[in-house]
Structure formats: structure tokens, C-alpha cells
Amino acid sequence: MPQHLIDKLERFTRLSDEDRQVLKALARKVRLIEAGVDIIQEGDRPETVNLFLDGWACRYKQLEDGRRQIVAFFVPGDLCDIHIYVLREMDHAIAAITPVRLATVPREILLDTMDRHPRITRALWWESLVNAAIQREWTVNIGRRTALERLAHLFCELFLRLRAVGLAEGSTCPFPLTQLELADATGLTNVHVNRTLKEMRNAGLILLKSRQLTVPDLAALQKAALFNPNYLHLEREGAHLSANA
């Protein structure tokens, strides 16, 4: 049940019952992947579109000499590039961070769905434009923010994304990333991430333990990060398309 995707798309526009049924039908073929395993490897030929149902994953690229950069996180409700099969081969890999449950959507099914359901189509474009905006924001984050700002920014983003798919409770959300993964996502080293997290805890910006993140004061964290949520486009921007409005 791609409830998280449905929740997310409803941050863009209200869906009809039929829309929701159609989205549910996308998640027919489910795959389970263990933590730490590559879901797709560089060089693979993409055949289907992945829809993440449960668990966390990441896109990453690795340089010849081993340096690794995580370029995106996938959380429940996220969808890989909907036209990925146009490319001959993957230029990067996707790995499961936790155990992952995902639906593999055959391209024909997705294309057919988009042919028939313009509101869903629009919502999926929105999803993919938001992902592009996130990728740009990561470029800014790594290029122009300090270590503390980078981590604070990432926490803000993930907290809001998780909240948008119904996975935050109050000021707490699941957060299964290790410090090494945080380092690889922010362009820092694990040692420096450790020191910066300590500083953030001391400043009362975050609580982080047993794979849970608590943000006691979101406004304060946003301020520390120079975080502007506009790039997530979560403000019902497609309200004019809403079903049952």
C-alpha cells in the first residue's frame, strides 16, 4: 500500500478515491531488500521504476579511489525518476540503508496510468520537480554552508519530508542514518560530523538517539541552517486541480 506516496501527493493536490485506487494498483509487485545491499548498481540497465514503501535508501556515487558521496536519500513514499528507463545504464547506485520494501512499477503500467489520469500525472511531475529542487538544494548545502548548517539543514529537510508522508510524531521522526552516512551526504568526515552533532546537542538543537531524531524547536533549527522550506513545495501548490474540492 503506497499510503506514504498518497499522503505526499496530497500535499500537492487532493486526490479522488479513484486516484488513490490507481496509485495503490502501482504497488502490485513488491521487493524486499536487506539493509546495506545495493538495490541498483552503476552500469545496471534500469527496467522498472522503484517506489519506496518502507525503509530508507540512498543514491550514491563513488570515485575510483573510494571517496563516496551520497546524493539523495529515499524515504517511504519516494519514487525514482519516472522516466529512468530512457537511459541505457545507471550512472550511480542505489543502496538500502535499512531493510527496504519497495514496489517495482513496470514502465508500461506507469505510462498507462499517466495517460489516463491527468491529476495523478501532474502530481507525479510535481514529485519529480521537487526531487530536482532537493538535489539543487543539496548542491547549495554542500557548497556554501558550514558543517553545522549543513547537518541542521539536512535534519530540517528530512524531518519535513517524513512529516509530509505521515512518519513524524510531534517533533520526533525515525532517523536510521549513521554518522558515516551523514558525512557522506554532507561532504564531511565522520569525525567532524561527530563533533558537530555534539555541538548541536549542546546547543539544544536536536536530540538524536536510538535511531530517532527529535527537533525540540524547529524554528531554531531552521534558523541555524538558514533553511527555507520553499524548495520542498509542500504548500498545496496544485490546489486548483483538487478532486472533491
Q: What is the total count of residues that contact DNA (CB under 7 A)?
A: 18
Q: Which lies closer to DNA via its Cβ, residue 34 or residue 235?
A: 34
The one segment of 77-85, 101-109, 186-194, 223-231 that binds DNA by CB under 7 A: 186-194
| C-alpha R_g of the chain | 18
Q: How far is the CB of 126 from a copy of itself (least distance, A)?
A: 5
Q: How far is the CB of 226 from a copy of itself (least distance, A)?
A: 5
Comparing CB distances to DNA, the nearer of 35 and 241 is 35
Other Cβ atoms within 10 Å of 122 Cβ, number: 16
SS (H, E, C) 109-127: HHHHHHHHCHHHHHHHHHH
- Residues 201, 151: contact at Cβ < 8 Å? no
Torsion of CA 200, 202, 208, 210, to 10 degrees: 150
**DSSP-derived 3-state class of residue 75:** coil
CB 197 within 8 A of CB 97: no
Contacts of 172 (CB under 8 A, 6+ apart): 212, 213, 214, 215
| Least separation in angstroms between CB 83 and a copy of itself | 4
Which of these, 9, 5, 169, lies nearest to 101 by C-alpha position?
5
Closer of 82 and 197 to DNA (Cβ):
197
CB of 9 to a copy of itself, least distance (A): 12
- 197 interacts with DNA by CB under 7 A: yes
Q: Which does 138 bind (CB under 5 to 8 A by kind): a copy of itself, DNA, none?
A: a copy of itself
**Which residue has cell 536519500?**
73
Interface pick for DNA out of 121, 131, 189, 242 (rule CB under 7 A): 189
Residues that bind a copy of itself (CB under 8 A): 42, 59, 61, 63-65, 67-69, 71-72, 81, 83-84, 86-89, 91-92, 122, 125-126, 128-129, 132-133, 135-140, 142-145, 186-187, 226, 228, 230-231, 233, 235, 237-238
Please, are residues 76 and 3 in contact by the beta-carbon 8 Å criterion?
no
Give the nearest distance from C-beta 69 to a copy of itself in angstroms: 4
User: How far, in whole angstroms, is CA 48 from its chain's centroid?
Assistant: 18
Please name which of 94, 98, 216, 95 lies closest in space to residue 155, comparing C-alpha atoms: 216
The interface with DNA within residues 138-157 (CB under 7 A) comprises 146-148
Among a copy of itself, DNA, none, partner that 122 touches (CB below 5 to 8 angstroms by kind): a copy of itself
> Among a copy of itself, DNA, none, what binds residue 63 when CB lies within 5 to 8 Å by partner kind?
a copy of itself
Q: What residues make contact with DNA under the rule CB under 7 A? A: 146-148, 178-180, 187-192, 194-198, 210
